[in-house]
């Protein structure tokens, strides 16, 4: 009797990708709306703590074992890297930079996935398409960052913008490192349990960051506008529970570089929302940088798609597979 490894449903994979692509593209806009009424780090604490507790409660109702020490520790590491550092930087810099700009600059994520994915260095770094994609990708990032740095340094001295640009170099590195850690560290728990702990631990980590920035001083919860609370609610339900759960699950069933392509679709959604509803402006030079990075992701993934196709053809032509097909025909 042979065991059969079930592949994930193609429909579920498509739905998960669509959720991550579209919902996370909109979160940049809603983050900026939320922090207009709630201090940035405190908003992160509220968002992820509530989302994590809701997810843990749901997992408990489904009968999942929610406390496995090894899995919780792994979730803590990946959650702190991805959410507390990676997404925390996004939340923080949106106080000084437009949401669409932040989304475009975060599109450097896939490049760091290739650089940090040590297990696949042999495959990725010996591929001409991958190396060319990395070079072009970095050129696109430099194009995007160059104008932002020039704007930040030119004219009036704005320390917040300069710090924002600097932090946005660190954010994608932390996100890619946390994602790869989550993918490669084995877990006996379902993806939803890992997701719950990642969000809850990250939410708790935002609290001391909020205290260090004196965000509790003078904060009056009754003065928070309704639109900020609605934005936080959207971020909890859709941005965290729906999209982040889909993302962690995709990391388990698809190649990390393929999952990371959300970083190229998210800016498009963010730009549309920023231009339509927040009167934000994106220069043609920055759009050109985005197009260059989009070309890089095509090249980075080209070798992987070819490899998957070749492996499939080889598997179909193996003697044991041909023999099995003949037996079925008989």
Q: What is the mean pLDDT of each run of 10 residues along the chain (330 residues)?
A: 56 90 86 90 94 94 90 93 91 77 74 84 76 78 65 60 78 91 84 92 94 88 92 94 91 83 76 71 75 76 63 57 44
Q: How far apart are the first and last CA of the chain?
A: 20
CA distances from 303 to 123, 125, 136, 279 (A): 9, 11, 16, 40
Q: pLDDT at position 219, please?
A: 86
User: In 3D, which of 52, 43, 150 has the Cα closest to residue 92?
Assistant: 43
Q: pLDDT at position 4, please?
A: 38
The whole-angstrom separation of Cα 13 and Cα 80 is 26
The separation between CA 160 and the C-alpha centre of its own chain, rounded to angstroms, equals 24
Unique residue bearing structure tokens 């740095």 = 149
Kindly tell me the sign of the dihedral angle through the C-alpha atoms of 184, 186, 192, 195.
negative
Q: pLDDT at position 330, please?
A: 41
Q: pLDDT at position 16, please?
A: 92
Contact 76, 205 (CB under 8 A): no
Q: How crowded is residue 194: how many other Cβ atoms within 10 Å of its Cβ?
A: 27
Q: Give me Rg for the CA atoms of the chain.
A: 21
Measured at the alpha carbon of residue 226, what is the angle toward residues 40 and 90, in degrees to the nearest 5?
A: 25
CA distances from 150 to 121, 146, 153, 161 (A): 34, 6, 5, 11
Q: Whole-model pTM?
A: 0.78
The whole-angstrom separation of Cα 183 and Cα 28 is 25
The whole-angstrom separation of Cα 270 and Cα 63 is 37
User: In 3D, which of 14, 5, 27, 66 has the Cα closest to residue 249?
Assistant: 14
The whole-angstrom separation of Cα 240 and Cα 244 is 5
**Per-state percent for the chain, helix, strand, coil, to nearest 5:** 80, 0, 20
Q: pLDDT at position 150, please?
A: 64
Unique residue bearing structure tokens 């201090």 = 39
Contact 77, 180 (CB under 8 A): no
């Amino acid at each position: 009797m042979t065991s059969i490894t079930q592949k994930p449903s193609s429909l579920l994979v498509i739905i998960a990708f669509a959720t991550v692509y579209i919902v996370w593209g909109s979160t940049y806009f809603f983050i900026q709306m939320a922090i207009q009424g709630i201090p940035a780090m405190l908003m992160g604490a509220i968002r992820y703590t509530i989302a994590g507790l809701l997810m843990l409660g749901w997992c408990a109702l489904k009968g999942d074992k929610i406390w496995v020490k090894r899995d919780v520790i792994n979730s803590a590491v990946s959650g702190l890297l991805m959410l507390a550092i990676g997404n925390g930087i996004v939340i923080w810099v949106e106080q000084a930079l437009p949401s669409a700009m932040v989304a475009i600059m975060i599109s450097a994520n896939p490049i760091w996935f290739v650089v940090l994915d040590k297990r696949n260095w042999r495959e990725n770094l010996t591929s001409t398409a991958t190396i060319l994609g990395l070079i072009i990708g970095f050129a696109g990032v430099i194009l995007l960052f160059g104008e932002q740095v020039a704007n930040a340094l030119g004219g009036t001295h704005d320390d917040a913008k300069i710090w924002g640009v600097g932090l946005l170099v660190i954010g994608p590195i932390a996100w890619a490192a946390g994602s790869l850690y989550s993918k490669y560290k084995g877990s006996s728990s379902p993806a939803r349990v890992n997701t719950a702990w990642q969000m809850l631990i990250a939410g708790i980590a935002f609290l001391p960051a909020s205290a260090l920035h004196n965000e509790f001083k003078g904060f009056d919860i009754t003065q928070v506008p309704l639109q900020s609370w609605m934005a936080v609610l959207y971020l909890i339900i859709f941005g965290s529970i729906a999209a982040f759960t889909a993302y962690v699950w995709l990391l388990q069933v698809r190649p990390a570089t393929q999952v990371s392509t959300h970083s190229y679709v998210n800016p498009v959604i963010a730009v549309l929302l920023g231009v339509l509803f927040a009167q934000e402006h994106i220069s043609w030079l920055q759009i050109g940088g985005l197009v260059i990075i989009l070309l890089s992701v095509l090249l980075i993934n080209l070798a992987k798609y070819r490899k998957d196709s070749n492996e499939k053809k080889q598997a179909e032509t193996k003697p044991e597979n041909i023999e099995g097909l003949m037996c079925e025909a008989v």
